[in-house]
Amino acid sequence: MHFYTLSLKSWCRLLGAASFLLLAFNAFATQADNQSDQGMAVYKALLPKAEAGDPEVQTTLGLMRLRGDTVPRDLRVARVWLGKAAIQQHTPAQYYLGQLLLLDVFNANPSDLDKQLTEGLGWLRRASRDQHPQSQLLYAQTLLGSQLDDPFGHSKIEAQQHLNSCAEVHLPCTRYALSRLDQGKEEEYCPSRDACDQKRRLLYTLANAEDAHARYRLSKFEGEDRMFWLRRAARLAHPQASYELADLVIRNEAPLQPEDPAVLSLLSSAAQQDVPQAMHLLGSMLVEGTRFPVNKPLGIQWLKLSAEKGFEPSRQLLMQIQTTADSKPAAEQVESAQTPENKP
């Protein structure tokens, strides 16, 4: 099979996973029966401005033809309007046209596919050089995700530069750049000191944007204030941070601050988000009446959920509870309340 066919498949797989392409996919799925006379009237009213060279209006008409929701869909006409706007340095038009060419919605002949993909990447590069964040992300994902050294003559070094620039201002770029540095490993893992510093900067950006997991990850980095980041993550209901903070408070290794949730809220939040250690701790405290009023049925339910997730301490505690119950005289045994159908 020709190499560009293989690369196209891998690119489409990358593009299909990108959230910013939902507009394009939703556009193609829209039914033509939603067209209206009003939509066509709007389209015709905008035509003079588009024909006079207004790139904003040309892009609008191109997208209307692409969606096909208010006027009949015509991908060829959409390409013409987007192309007219793109050559006038209208970056949104360059972005839409670039991704459409990469997705091959125009069904190019096999002999023309190489040229079409090259053109699509070219439009994305031009928009990226104008600091258009969506284009920078798509350009970087396409090139950096390719197994080719220089896909269709484009530089991966330049793509990385666009990604680095975009990561400072556009959170999807930040997350993608971070995932590349993680290499499948999170927390404090860094392949080099430079990569670790880069990862830390990206996490700061996400943490300042109210990203709970970024805050939790920073609590694991050497040199960071662990409790500062742990508290900030727990206040956003991060499951592991909520459990760890509650555990530290229960063991008298950290006090709660006024802004922190109560211990019961922390444990309940983590348990509801399937953290087995939190399920176990909450369940054992309810069974024993430690810190919270005794509620054996509810506590046992949490222990069972934790045990089902393979948490061995919960399984052992359940066995002890059952052994104790079996050893009591029948008159002293108390029936458990009916277990709710859903999680507590």
What pLDDT digit, counting tens, does each position of 36-88 carry?
A: 778 889 999 999 999 999 999 999 999 999 988 889 999 999 999 999 999 99
**Residues 277 and 307 sit within 8 Å (Cβ to Cβ):** no
Average pLDDT on 200-207 reads 97
pTM listed for this prediction? 0.80
CA separation, residue 341 to residues 7, 13, 271, 277 (Å): 49, 40, 16, 22
Distance separating alpha carbons of residues 276 and 106, to the nearest angstrom? 51
Residues 6+ apart with CB under 8 A from 259: 231, 235
> Residue 1: pLDDT above 80?
no
pLDDT of residue 332: 53
Compute the chain's Rg from CA coordinates. Answer: 28
**Residues 332 and 292 sit within 8 Å (Cβ to Cβ):** no
User: What letter represents residue 260's amino acid?
Assistant: D
**Structural element, H or E, at residue 36:** none
Long-range contacts from 313-321, C-beta under 8 angstroms, 24+ separation: 313/280, 314/276, 314/279, 314/280, 314/283, 317/280, 317/283, 317/284, 317/287, 321/287
User: What letter represents residue 207's amino acid?
Assistant: A
